[in-house]
Structure 1
Amino acid sequence: MAKQMSILPFTGKLGPLIGYKRNGQYFLRSMPQSVQQTAATRRASRRFGIASRKGAFIRKAFYPHLDIHCDGGHINRLNRLLITAGDHHAALTGFRFNQHTGIDRFFPVAPRLLSNGILNIPAQTIAGYKGMAALEVKVIATRIDFTSRQVVGSETATLLIAPDTTFQETNVSLDVPGEGSLVVVFQVRGLYKDGPSNSRQYMAADIIAVAAPQVPKYAKKRTYPKRTTLLPKLTYTYAYPAIIQLE
């Protein structure tokens, strides 16, 4: 490892050298002559590739709807979570796009997704925050088909809540039809009188629920009435032995 002392430092590959940045300083290292991969490293590389592609897909699905600044490490955090989760997408529940603040700072009683597609926000006391005129709550529901990597549909709902008040129980209907998993993000940000706060302490966006794809209801087996076959009536003739009278 060598420190770059030039006026114009660089990052990336340059001939046999690789430039990179660490803790605000630029360094150099040489490329290895050859890379030998074992079966285990190949499997790990394949898992990382799958997770990173899936992570990029999830981020792009939510970026257009998010109104907060994500922290600088959210990409790596999401990739690590996906590597361990595999196809168990429910493990995404609790992921924070801003690791510095979660929605529990504003809502001590967490919202929950009911089986009928209703997001229930329980009644609770909302704390007051100095200088804050309101809290903006935005619910983002996106149905994602992870198999085909398609965003089937999205729906958002926004609420304005006064701080330092008692919040009444509220239900939000999340009607996003189609195939795929329903991923729900709960976003909260503080609003001043002249606009939203840019402080990371007053911006939160967490994945609060991942509903598995609905199992299609197979058509009921058609039943037919029992078929009755009418046979023609038969007449039987029996032959009896002759009766012999003895004299």
Structure 2
Amino acid sequence: MAKQTGLIKFTKKVGDLIGYRVGKEHYLRSMPAEVRQSPRTKISARYFGKASTLGAAMRHAAYGLLDIPGEMGLGNRLNRALLGVLRQDDLHHSKTFIPQNFRGLKGFSFNQHTALDEVLTVTPVVTRDFYGNLHVTVPAMSSYTCNPVATHLRIRAVGVFLQPGFTEAAATASEAVLVDVSRPCEELTLVVPAQKGALCTVILEVMCCKQENGRMVMLLNRKYSAAEVIAVLTSRKEPKEHSHAAEPEQEALAGRGALPLVPGLVINFPQRE
């Protein structure tokens, strides 16, 4: 491993050299002359490819909706979590993503330095309405004791909807709500519009803010913000269409004077000889 010290640095393949970045430094390594893979390593590489493809889709879908600063190791952490979801499949010879196994993502943090309960004193509840919209209810807070520096909390909910095939994802977000922590806060509900895809991971983002000279300033310290998966919804109840096909038949039976349904009543019809 060699360190790049020139004015021009690169992070891709150039000839037999590969440039890559670790933190703020750039390094070089040479390409291997031959790569030997056993059957097990080939299978592991295929599983990691599935996890990294879905992880990249989830990150890109959520990036434009989250205000929390990006973290260098987020991609690797999310890929490992998704690889764990994939390995839980015991039903197929070639492991695949199963919706129920995604519940293990609950509690995954987009900021590993701060958990959600370190900036929020209540536990939110997630429900889904008849049309597929997500309702994230934040219970009332009588007092706030998490961060003495913050004067307000900026709360937003993001839903990342995984598409069939688990290679693409789409995301929508609720409106951000500003909560004054100097006074008791009533219960509030954040509504995330529905998107295509039944499987959804719900992320709650809480940013600590401070009011200075009439202006609201976000405290971008990584200890003052959190974004965490608070729920994973694995199914979606679609509206049932009312069928009118059986109505004429039911009306005809009613017109014939159909017998009423009486529990325990047994009727013997004469058999034809």
Please state which band the TM-score falls in when normalised by the shorter chain: 0.7 to 0.9
* Higher mean C-alpha deviation, range 111-120 or range 86-95: 111-120
Q: Spell out structure 1 runs of 4+ moving beyond 4 A.
A: 8-12, 19-28, 148-153, 215-228
Structure 1 11/172 Cα, relative in aligned 2: closer, same or farther at 3 Å? closer
Q: Deviations over 1:130-176 (max 9, x none)?
A: 44331111122343324265556624132211224433333334441
Question: Residue 109 of structure 1 aligns to a residue in which SS?
Answer: coil
Between the aligned partners of 2:218 and 2:120, the Cα distance in structure 1 is 18
1:127/1:216 Cα in 2 relative to 1: closer, same or farther (>3 Å)?
same
- Counterpart CA distance in 1 for 2:163 and 2:223 is 33
1:85 and 1:57 mapped to 2: Cα distance? 16
Structure 2 match to 1:70:
70
- The alignment status of 1:166 with 2:184, answered yes or no, reads yes
Aligned residues: 227
Aligned residue for 2:116?
103
TM-score by length of 1: 0.75
Unaligned stretches of 5+ residues in structure 2: 87-96, 257-273
Query: 1:170-213: per-residue Cα shift (whole Å, max 9, x none)?
Result: 33344416442232211111222232122111121112112113
**Higher strand share goes to which structure?**
1
2:218 corresponding residue in structure 1:
196
CA displacement at 1:76 relative to structure 2? 0.8
Aligned equivalent of 2:85 = 85
Whether the 8 Å contact between 1:189 and 1:197 is mirrored in structure 2 is: yes
Looking at CA atoms only, which structure, 1 or 2, has the larger radius of gyration? Answer: 1
Aligned to 2:198: 180
| Aligned-residue CA RMSD (Å) | 3.2
Q: Aligned partner of 2:56: which letter?
A: A
Structure 2 length-normalised TM? 0.69
Q: Are residue 119 (structure 1) and residue 119 (structure 2) matched? A: no
Over 3 Å counting, the alpha-carbon distance change for 1:17 and 1:191 in structure 2 is: same
- Separation in structure 2 between the aligned mates of residue 76 and residue 151 of structure 1, nearest angstrom: 18
Deviation at 1:75, TM superposition (A): 0.9
Q: Which runs of 5+ in 1 are unaligned?
A: 229-247
